[in-house]
Amino acid sequence: MGWGRTLLLGDIGNRLDIDDVEQTVAQLRFELNTRRRVQQDVDQSQDERLVRLEADCAEMKLYLATLVRLLIGKGTIDREEFARFVEIIDRSDGAADGRFGGPLT
């Protein structure tokens, strides 16, 4: 490929150079399309996992709301006491950030 072919072979050398470039472009297109397909599969898998996680989170929220309302409704705990426990547990993992990363018990 290059000026040597052109100098020695003229138009035939140019055509050979063009063929080489076309093969390289075709190979690069193939590789790009393959990567796109793989990435689309990964994206779809992540989207499906996200949908499942969101459903799991909504279900957990339902159970938690049910449990809290049941405990408050039966007088086992009042709202203020519950709020205090939430604050204590939130801080118990080292950060008062609205999350809990420690063990359940």
Kindly state whether residue 54 falls inside one of the protein's structural domains.
yes
Kindly state whether residue 43 falls inside one of the protein's structural domains.
yes
44 burial (CB, 10 Å; 0-12 / 13-18 / 19+) is: exposed
**Alpha carbons within 13 A on the beta-carbon side of 84:** 5
Contact criterion met (CB below 8 Å) for 74 and 85:
no
Q: How many domains does the chain have?
A: 1
**Alpha carbons within 13 A on the beta-carbon side of 43:** 6
pLDDT in the model for residue 11: 73
Kindly state whether residue 8 falls inside one of the protein's structural domains.
yes
Question: Residue 65: which pLDDT band, with cuts at 50, 70 and 90?
Answer: very high
**Alpha carbons within 13 A on the beta-carbon side of 96:** 6
Query: Is residue 1 pLDDT above 60, yes or no?
Result: no
Domain limits for position 24: 3-58
Kindly state whether residue 76 falls inside one of the protein's structural domains.
no
Supply the DSSP symbol for 98.
S
pTM of the model: 0.56
Residue type, 23: Q
More reliable by pLDDT, 53 or 95: 53
Kindly state whether residue 24 falls inside one of the protein's structural domains.
yes
Kindly state whether residue 39 falls inside one of the protein's structural domains.
yes
Length of the chain: 105
For residues 35-62, give the mean pLDDT: 94
Contact criterion met (CB below 8 Å) for 16 and 3:
no
Kindly state whether residue 25 falls inside one of the protein's structural domains.
yes
